[in-house]
Amino acid sequence: MKMKRFVLPAIYILAAALRITQAGASPYWYDEAYTVMVSRLPLGQLFAALYGDVHPPLYYVITWLISHTMGDSEIVMRMPSALLSLASVWLTGRLGRALGWDAAAVLAGQGIMAISPFQLFFAGEARMYALLQALLMVAALGVIERRWWLAGLGALGALYTHNYALIYLPVIGMVGLPCALRGKSFLRLAASLGLPVLGWLPWGSVLLGQMGTVSGGYWISRPTAGGVAEILYYLFLGFSQSTWMFTAATVALFGAFTVMIWRLAAVRPSGWVATLTIGLLPLALAVAASFAWKPVLLFRGLIASTPALSLVMGWWLSRMRSSHKITAALMLLTASVLAVVNLYTSNPKNNLSNTEALGLVRAGYQPGDVMIHANSGSMPSWAVYAPEIPQYRLPNCGEFEAWGSLSQATQAAIGITTLTLDQAPGRVWFVASVGPMHHACYGPAIEAATANAGPVKLLADDSLNLAGVWLIP
């Protein structure tokens, strides 16, 4: 208890410092730039953009309000995620106690959440994942503590934040079911989660139309053993690990995971079934849906599993003998800290490449010049930072642009219009960004477009990606 008095504030201070200091550290990457583009639109147009996209509107309405009142600098737009992620560290404590974990386990779980590389990535991203996690934790807390209004509010908010709430809410309902049956409050449980679903139905009809556009991409994992194992790794150690550390970290994590599950099954501490259910069942459901329906295995959508898994890991670590703790700390803590360091040092560098290229364009820009993108993929990141330069994209060269690219409706709503090179009024700054998901026609199209052009900056040129800027006189 005495230790808790000092350790808990230290955990919150560390969690806050790690989250808030990185908020303005790097330029926006593609997804964040899309958030900013959408948030700059008038509210009606924002909804037109979202109807053609794959995400519900709550997060964008929040960022719209922020953007229209406080501007859209990186630190301002990422602050909600930083604060919500910090709130999740506190919610982990509440959830852990409500699930019946002892004080040491809860404290360790909060400590893991504070420095989790996975959590820190989404705490520093102007996207909806920290919000989704916080709302789902509120819904779970409401169900477990039988505060039905809280459960309903969290569930409704989560449904309007991300489609993965549809996977988590049945799991949360399942966790609350035994207690609700014992307390004869099944109807209240059903109402607290069922009414939000009814309230979400208007958006559900939009979702049905959007489902056709969910067609895989870099962000959809394959439901294979490797894909699932990778997601489990991400949930604990994030995806910023250095190559040289990755193998050792994987061995240590899966070894720890095995011993942890073994100890859980042997000791069966209070709340272990409910906690593991929240931690692992959503992943199992997403895998099942990917087999039975279409690929929907999105590791980012599983962010709300991290608090539960952190509590289980926290319980295991807090019960260890000192010598074992040193071993675990040497292996897991080192892997975790190095992943955080890598996240904080490499992320800004990666995102800076576009900014550097934009600096070169600005230096050589002449009135009458236009910028033409090979496709819509590179446009948000450039348009957000250079709204003064007229920007267009080439028309699609094939029957589709890329798997997972913005729909035509969304592109029209956020102001992405097409222009061919022949139609350009003057010089063209040609920006290309092509990856594996793009139609095969883009390779030859870019080759043809840049045949007589001077390269300004080549950002990537390997077997997977081609990205760069050329000046076409």
Partner 1 sequence: MSDRYIAWIEAMNKQESMFVVVALGGVALGAAWCLRSFVWMPEPVRRFSERAYLVGGISIWILTILYTVRAL
Q: Confirm or reject binding of residue 258 to partner 1 (CB under 8 A).
A: yes
* Contacts (CB under 8 A) with partner 1, residues 305-334: 323-324, 327, 330-331
Tokens representing residue 238 in the block = 């994030």
- C-beta of 323 vs 366, nearer to partner 1: 323
Pick the piece of the chain touching partner 1 (CB under 8 A) from 83-91, 121-129, 198-206, 220-228: 220-228
Which of 255, 359, 364, 387 touches partner 1 by CB under 8 A?
255
Q: Confirm or reject binding of residue 153 to partner 1 (CB under 8 A).
A: no
On whether the CB atoms of residues 294 and 220 are closer than 8 A, the answer is no
Q: Confirm or reject binding of residue 21 to partner 1 (CB under 8 A).
A: no
Nearest 10 degrees: CA dihedral of 67, 70, 76, 79? -90
b/e sequence 260-287, b meaning 16+ C-beta within 10 Å: beebbeeeebebbebbbbbbbbbbebbb
How far apart (Å, rounded) are the C-alpha atoms in residues 262 and 268?
Answer: 10
- C-beta of 11 vs 394, nearer to partner 1: 394
Q: Confirm or reject binding of residue 222 to partner 1 (CB under 8 A).
A: yes
**Closest approach of Cβ 12 to partner 1, in Å?**
31
How far apart (Å, rounded) are the C-alpha atoms in residues 109 and 215?
Answer: 36
Which of 33, 37, 252, 449 touches partner 1 by CB under 8 A?
252
**Closest approach of Cβ 436 to partner 1, in Å?**
3
**Closest approach of Cβ 330 to partner 1, in Å?**
6
Q: What is the DSSP string of 123-166?
A: HTSSSSHHHHHHHHHHHHHHHHTT-HHHHHHHHHHHHTT-TTHH
Which of 150, 206, 229, 320 touches partner 1 by CB under 8 A?
229
Phi, psi of 461 (to 5 degrees): -155, 85
Which of 101, 122, 168, 233 touches partner 1 by CB under 8 A?
233
Pick the piece of the chain touching partner 1 (CB under 8 A) from 109-117, 134-142, 311-319, 431-439: 431-439
Which of 3, 211, 248, 352 touches partner 1 by CB under 8 A?
248
Which residues are paired to 458 by β-bridges?
A: 468
Strand, helix or coil for residue 369: coil
- C-beta of 85 vs 240, nearer to partner 1: 240
Alpha-carbon distances of 210 from 47, 56, 65, 138, 285, rounded to whole Å: 13, 10, 25, 27, 21
Q: Which amino acid is at 199?
A: G
Q: Interface residues with partner 1 (CB under 8 A)?
A: 222, 224-227, 229-230, 233, 243-248, 250-259, 262, 323-324, 327, 330-331, 434-440, 442-443, 463-466
